[in-house]
Structure 1
Amino acid sequence: MALRFGDKVSTAATDYGTVLLDERNGQYWELNPTAGLIVTTLLAGGDETAAVDALIAEFGIDRTRAEQDVATLVEELRTSGLTA
């Protein structure tokens, strides 16, 4: 499923990954390059399988690890209240 943040969540790419800012409370998250790639893939309309494939292509990790990383990040984003 594609990812969509709430209208009060901003994203910015940095040299070190991606930063998310929750404008409702001023809290921010600095995502490492792996998490940034997952978020970028999902925000572009890709599903979780596309994010897994992107991780494998970019970082050469095995599929099981990539699937776990994607599932964990997506769950954390949902439970944090950042997603719409």
Structure 2
Amino acid sequence: MTAVRKGVLLADTEYGTALLDQESAEYWTLNPTGALVLRTLLDGGTLEDAVRALTDQYDVSPDQARTDAEDIVDELTTAGLLTR
């Protein structure tokens, strides 16, 4: 299951989602597509659920949606914001 690391705060905005790492004071923003992927995973969904959510909401192919979702998860995990 995907979770936000302790010490990372989330805030939904009209432009997507903001993440604040309280330890490093770094601030991250996700556009609406990134926010959709993150919320799907945090709500207990799988990567496949996130891909389906992207293709349902946006005009994007499943392959492109999968690549985008994987990139978002990889970037946030590498930055230490998510645990899996």
Q: Same fold (TM over 0.5)?
A: yes
Q: What's the counterpart of residue 77 of structure 2? A: 78
- Runs (5+) with no aligned partner, structure 2: none
Q: Could you list the structure 1 runs, at least 4 aligned residues long, displaced by more than 2 angstroms after superposition.
A: none
Alignment partner of 1:41: what SS? helix
Alignment partner of 2:17: what SS? strand
Q: What's the counterpart of residue 67 of structure 2? A: 68
The alignment's TM-score, normalised by the length of structure 2, stands at 0.94
Report the count of equivalent residues. 83
What amino acid does structure 2 have at the position aligned with 1:32?
A: N
Higher strand share: 2
Alignment of 1:1-84 (within 5 A): 2-84=1-83
The alignment's TM-score, normalised by the length of structure 1, stands at 0.94
- Runs (5+) with no aligned partner, structure 1: none
- Could you tell me how far apart the structure 1 residues matched to 2:82 and 2:58 are? 26
**Identity, % of aligned positions:** 40
Q: How far did residue 60 of structure 1 move?
A: 2.2
